[in-house]
Amino acid sequence: MLKLILFFIYIFMLIAVIFLERKSPTEALLWVFVLLCLPYFGAILYLIFGSTMSIKITAFARKRRLKKQRPNLCPPQTNIVDPSNLSPVGSRVARFNCNYNQSRLTSYNRADLYTNGKEHYRQLFADIRSAKQCIYIEFYTIHHDEIGEALVSVLAEKASAGIEVLVLCDFIANLSTPQKMFQPLLDAGGKLVRVKPYFTHYRSHRKIVAIDHQIGYIGGMNIGRQYANMAKVKNPWRDTQIRLDGECVNVLDEYFLTDWLCAVRQIHWEQAVSYVSSITAKTFEATDKLCQFIVGGADTNKEAVKMCYLSMISSAKKSIRIQTPYFIPDASILDALKAAAASGVEIELMIPGIKASFFLDPVTTYYCGQLLEYGAKVYKYRGYVHAKTMVVDDEICCIGSVNMDMRSLMVDDEVCGVFYSSPLVKQYIDIFKADIQNCDAYSWQRFLDRGRKEKALESFFVLFAPLM
């Protein structure tokens, strides 16, 4: 009987790969081959590294319920912005994101950039202490250290004062963070959900903070001592976080609350919907400081983040500046960057000088070589770059949680902001140029001179690039 059940499960997996998951032909063929050659072990590998069915079914069912009970979490815009009023590059990218990703073109009143964790946490904790209505927190990791404990302490203080405190963090990434660290928050009436409580490499990598429907944060920083330059090895740590206020926070509210409703347990569903339905979002006067937020993940077939990046890269006429801790693009992103470089677009890529890991570094080096061949400039920061940013033609800037790797671009839950305001873009260009002063150039000749061992590691680990 057990063998029969396992056989039917095995057949269902084959059907799911071919007909239900809508994977690319290459990926689908790979998993069919694995399942046929390794029937039971292959099934385990598929459940951990390949299947997205549980994620998609859960997200679809709950979003469908949400649509019935509250059609729109985000209030309607009082001032619709015409993308054609932007620069040519900005207009093209904004129109793409509106049409393809249904990303609302919104505005902000003020933006503050943080490249140091200490400054970021100082302002974040101050904003939390000043909260009057609600605090929404979503991070990939909340580490069990002095920074994580300080966050829980200030959140517990606000929850005990009657403020609605909702916290999301990834399940796998926080296995080493004990539940007891969050207990003061839970005892005070705050709520915590560890997202995606199953073993799969499709993770929740978003970083969103929204406070009182008025202040929002996104970027590359999680909660932990390393982001505040307190790590022993990866130091100095260079990251980017942006604090916003104004109309755009309504969109971050919507994204967070959708994630919340997709994550809460069934027994808490009605209570969660009731809370969301009771929210009265703030209204703001639109400004000329425009932005869009793009979300992507395994629960959609659109590859929203990757397509946004492709739109930005293909729109470039002069320059593309990228910061990323890993550079493991898929074929479409790599080809777009190669085409841009070969067409005369100046490409500058900044990666860490300190190794990310023994398997990520050789693959990053391999893909850097692909760009160096076409004249791109690669810089290795004297420290650890964890920022995830891209600036195109000195006109638009993207800041968010998205690593330039296949998982972030296509399957992990991610969020990034595309900013069309000239002062903000110029500010970040100045930051990028200052960072170059703390970098060592990685030249085409240096790439060619690497040793046999390094080349062998590249050849081996690049086979696993789709899982990185």
List, for residues 299-313, the tens digit of each pLDDT value.
Answer: 676 889 999 999 999
Single out the residue of 189, 190, 213 nearest to residue 279, CA to CA: 213
What is residue 371's predicted lDDT score, i.e. its pLDDT?
93
List, for residues 241-251, the tens digit of each pLDDT value.
Answer: 999 999 999 99
Higher pLDDT, 71 or 209: 209
Average per-residue pLDDT for the chain: 85
What is residue 58's predicted lDDT score, i.e. its pLDDT?
65
- Percent of the chain at pLDDT > 70 equals 80
For residue 262 the two structure tokens come to 């997709």
pLDDT of residue 466 exceeding 70: no
How far, in Å, CA of 262 to CA of 256, rounded? 10
Q: Which amino acid is at 280?
A: T
Q: What is the mean pLDDT of residues 254-282?
A: 84
pLDDT of residue 145 exceeding 70: yes
pLDDT of residue 78 exceeding 60: no
Point out the least confidently predicted range of 9-23, 145-159, 265-279. Answer: 9-23
Q: Burial letters for 233-253: b for 16+ Cβ neighbours within 10 Å, e otherwise?
A: ebeebbbbbbbbbbbbbbbbb
Q: Residue 454: pLDDT band by 50, 70, 90 thresholds?
A: confident
| Max Cα–Cα distance, the chain, nearest Å | 68
For residue 100 the two structure tokens come to 């393809």
Q: What phi, psi does 330 have (nearest 5°)?
A: -80, 175
What is residue 452's predicted lDDT score, i.e. its pLDDT?
82
Q: What phi, psi does 209 have (nearest 5°)?
A: -125, 135
pLDDT of residue 149 exceeding 80: yes
Higher pLDDT, 56 or 324: 324
List, for residues 181-221, the tens digit of each pLDDT value.
Answer: 999 999 999 999 998 877 666 788 899 999 999 999 999 99
Q: Residue 468: pLDDT band by 50, 70, 90 thresholds?
A: low
- Residue identified by tokens 């049409």 is 99
What is residue 94's predicted lDDT score, i.e. its pLDDT?
93
What is residue 134's predicted lDDT score, i.e. its pLDDT?
95
Q: Residue 61: pLDDT band by 50, 70, 90 thresholds?
A: low
Q: What is the mean pLDDT of residues 1-9?
A: 65
List, for residues 338-384, the tens digit of each pLDDT value.
Answer: 999 999 999 999 999 887 766 777 888 889 998 999 999 999 999 99
Provide CB contacts within 8 A for 110, sequence distance 6+.
244, 245, 246
Q: What is the mean pLDDT of residues 19-44?
A: 68
Q: Residue 422: pLDDT band by 50, 70, 90 thresholds?
A: confident
Point out the least confidently predicted range of 116-125, 211-220, 354-363, 438-447. Answer: 354-363
Q: Residue 70: pLDDT band by 50, 70, 90 thresholds?
A: low
What is residue 20's predicted lDDT score, i.e. its pLDDT?
63
How far, in Å, CA of 415 to CA of 427, rounded? 21
pLDDT of residue 138 exceeding 90: yes
For residue 415 the two structure tokens come to 């969020």
Whether 376 contacts 404, CB under 8 Å: no
Q: What is the pTM of this model?
A: 0.88
What is residue 21's predicted lDDT score, i.e. its pLDDT?
66
